[in-house]
Amino acid sequence: MAEERNRVVESLELAARMIEAAGSGAELRSALRDGLSGVEFHSDTLAKELAKDPADPRALDPALRPRAQRVEDGLHALLVTAWELLTLSDEELAATPKRAALVKALRAAESAETALVFDHLMAPQGID
In a domain, 4, yes or no: no
In a domain, 25, yes or no: yes
* Angstrom distances, CA of residue 2 to CA of 5, 16, 95: 9, 28, 31
**DSSP letter string, 44-73:** HHHHHHHHS-TTSTTSPPTTTHHHHHHHHH
Range of the domain at 73: 12-122
In a domain, 113, yes or no: yes
- The whole-model pTM stands at 0.85
In a domain, 128, yes or no: no
In a domain, 69, yes or no: yes
Count Cα atoms within 13 angstroms, Cβ side, for 6.
Answer: 18
In a domain, 127, yes or no: no
In a domain, 91, yes or no: yes
Per-residue pLDDT of the chain (128 residues), as tens digits, is 334 445 556 789 999 999 999 999 999 999 999 988 889 999 999 999 999 998 888 888 888 999 999 999 999 999 999 999 999 999 999 999 999 999 999 999 999 999 998 888 887 665 55
Number of domains composing the chain = 1
